[in-house]
Amino acid sequence: MDMTNARVILLAGPSGSGKSYVARRTGLPVLCLDDFYREGDDPALPRADGAVDWESPLAWDAPAAVSAIGALCRDGIAETPVYAFGSDSRVGRRVVDLAGSALFIAEGIFAAEIVADCHARQLLAAAYALHRPRALTYVRRLARDLAERRKPPGVLVRRGFALWRAEPAVLARQSLLGAEPASARHVLAGVATLRAPISPQR
């Protein structure tokens, strides 16, 4: 069992729902869980119709993500990968430092997949699944992916429509895994409550 000094707030949600933006708005340190995607040449990657299924949780290294969260909770610092979606590969390392914070955000589309594990290890403070209107999510995702040149434009448009159709099922799964469906305002209010000092008992 991990002995923790800090705790994690997991922030899931569909691709393009604004997880990174909301995480930054909390003012807490942020761990990007998308950096734990598997390398594009990993033979264990899941496939569908002859292509890698990057929407599957099996395309993501959950044990490595939980290990990094555990290190942050225990030591306040961890070295994590840097992932480039354009090349489907890890291109470096970065150091995440909590700088004494008792809470931090771990955000990514697969964050809900590790709710149970983090809870069992006593690492979890809260878990949310960010919910935005589907049209807004589609536009935000496409603009981001085009700006970052993650894939050719035609691929991004087709992927965007597929994700738009799948979004209700994605949110339903994240809820079943223990992430509370929440608006950005609800997430920020919940984080503020967790950060509030506890009044001493009289």
Residue 2 pLDDT grade (very low, low, confident, very high; cuts 50, 70, 90)? very low
Answer with the residue of higher pLDDT: 8 or 152. Answer: 8
E strand map for the chain: 7-12, 30-32, 47-48, 51-52, 77-84, 89-97, 103-107, 124-130, 180-182
Is the pLDDT assigned to residue 198 strictly greater than 60? no
Give the model confidence (pLDDT) of 29-75 as tens digits: 999 999 999 999 998 899 887 788 888 899 999 999 999 999 999 99
Give the model confidence (pLDDT) of 62-112 as tens digits: 999 999 999 999 999 999 999 998 888 999 999 999 999 999 999 999 999
If you average pLDDT over every residue of the chain, what do you get?
87
**Could you give the CA distance from residue 147 to residue 126 in angstroms, rounded to a whole number?**
32
Write down the pLDDT at residue 62: 97
Q: Are 28 and 104 in contact (CB under 8 A)?
A: yes
**Could you give the CA distance from residue 121 to residue 105 in angstroms, rounded to a whole number?**
17
Is the pLDDT assigned to residue 200 strictly greater than 50? no
pTM score, two decimals? 0.84
Percent of the chain with pLDDT over 70: 86
**Could you give the CA distance from residue 144 to residue 85 in angstroms, rounded to a whole number?**
12
**Could you give the CA distance from residue 91 to residue 26 in angstroms, rounded to a whole number?**
28
Write down the pLDDT at residue 104: 98
Write down the pLDDT at residue 145: 65
3-class secondary-structure state, position 94? strand
Q: How many CA atoms, within 13 angstroms, populate the side-chain half-sphere of residue 170?
A: 25
Write down the pLDDT at residue 4: 56
**Could you give the CA distance from residue 10 to residue 12 in angstroms, rounded to a whole number?**
6
Write down the pLDDT at residue 1: 41
Is the pLDDT assigned to residue 173 strictly greater than 90? yes
Write down the pLDDT at residue 160: 61
Is the pLDDT assigned to residue 3 strictly greater than 70? no
Average pLDDT estimate for 135-161? 70
Domains of the chain: 7-195 (3.40.50.300)
- Identify the top-confidence range among 42-51, 141-150, 154-163: 42-51
